[in-house]
Structure 1
Amino acid sequence: MVRYRRNRECNGTYFFTVTLRDRRSSLLVERFCDLQEAWKAAGRRIPHDVVAAVVLPDHLHAVIAMRDGRDDYSRLWQDIKKGFTLRTRARRTTQSPWQSRFWEHTIRDETDLRAHVDYVHFNPVKHGHVEWASDWPLSSFHRYVRDGLLPRDWGDAGP
């Protein structure tokens, strides 16, 4: 069995990219409620805070602060993926829709955190789904605007 070397810091903060196997799929936005329920269920087992997140058709990005004392984010993603797969399996193939791995980056400091949160919020614009970050509904961007941390007109596609 392959053992991946992953960095872990007690109650650290991490940036993740998690992707569907079929990059042409739009399953994550079509079944967003199932993803949300799977994530909530996993959160009851593995304590964490979602600092920022965006769900796109075929992948998602998240900045997560672990609060389980072990930083068992691999188990967190395993639980989320499994819960989502079980919720969507009745209408889909028996094969998991997820790629088996995920990308992880340990947030080093406030500058790194800001850069990754901005990346998360700008991602729908980057992929051409919308012209403004505020136009993408499945993003923590709206919480940042509501809390006064970002202006509503932040993150346009530019000229």
Structure 2
Amino acid sequence: MRPMSKYIRPKRPGASIFFTVALADRGARTLVDHVVVLREAVRMTKAERPFQINAWVVLPDHMHCVWTLPEGDAEYSTRWSVIKARFSRAMPIIQRRKSHEARREHGIWQRRYWEHHIRDDAAFAACVRYCWINPVKHGLVEHPKDWPYSSWHRDGPHDLIL
């Protein structure tokens, strides 16, 4: 058996970060079917541990977002842990593997997520655009305006060219 890697997440206070967070069951519709629960988990966490949401898109089995952390704060992993736990506790208990039970996990989420620290304005714009066009990329809609679970509706460019 291969030992698990010991990935150390970067700690850059005040950073803007692009995230991809996925369900364990790729192909499920849990996130869009329970988007109200997800929004509440994010709202509560954001109230306790502020951060700016620059872009967000929720797809059936994964989501992408861009956050900017407050100056002096680098704890995005804590925020994700709390959001995922709040969402999981609100979901019905599903059949779990022994490893999930041992860690007191609900088995809804992939254990890890992908993050990328954004280094400049061009990369920031590309990450935000990626969030907005992702439902199009997955064939869910023809234009970002047609996907209801996206920050495009809050601040997307209405003349976005795909």
Fold agreement, TM-score > 0.5: yes
Using the alignment, how far apart are the partners of 1:97 and 1:8 within structure 2? 26
Detail structure 1 runs of 4+ shifted over 3 Å in the superposition. none
- SS, match of residue 111 in structure 2: strand
- Sequence identity, in percent? 40
Task: Give the aligned partner of residue 126 of structure 1.
Answer: 137
Write the mapping of 1:48-127 to structure 2, written as runs, cut at 5 A: 48-67=51-70, 69-89=72-92, 92-93=94-95, 95-127=106-138
Letter in 1 for 2:120: D
Task: Give the aligned partner of residue 160 of structure 2.
Answer: 154
1:90-131 Cα shifts (integer Å, max 9, x gaps): 5x4463300000000001010000000000000000000000
Using the alignment, how far apart are the partners of 1:108 and 1:68 within structure 2? 16
1:7-37 Cα shifts (integer Å, max 9, x gaps): 2211110000000000010000000000001
| TM score, norm. by length of structure 2 | 0.86
- SS, match of residue 110 in structure 2: strand
- SS, match of residue 131 in structure 1: coil
1:138 aligns with 2:158: no
Letter in 2 for 1:138: Y
Closer, same or farther in 2 for the Cα pair 1:134/1:70, shift >3 Å?
Answer: same
Could you tell me which runs of 5 or more consecutive residues in structure 2 were left unpaired when the two chains were aligned.
97-105
Task: Give the aligned partner of residue 45 of structure 1.
Answer: 48
1:21 aligns with 2:24: yes
Using the alignment, how far apart are the partners of 1:75 and 1:43 within structure 2? 11
Could you tell me which runs of 5 or more consecutive residues in structure 1 were left unpaired when the two chains were aligned.
none
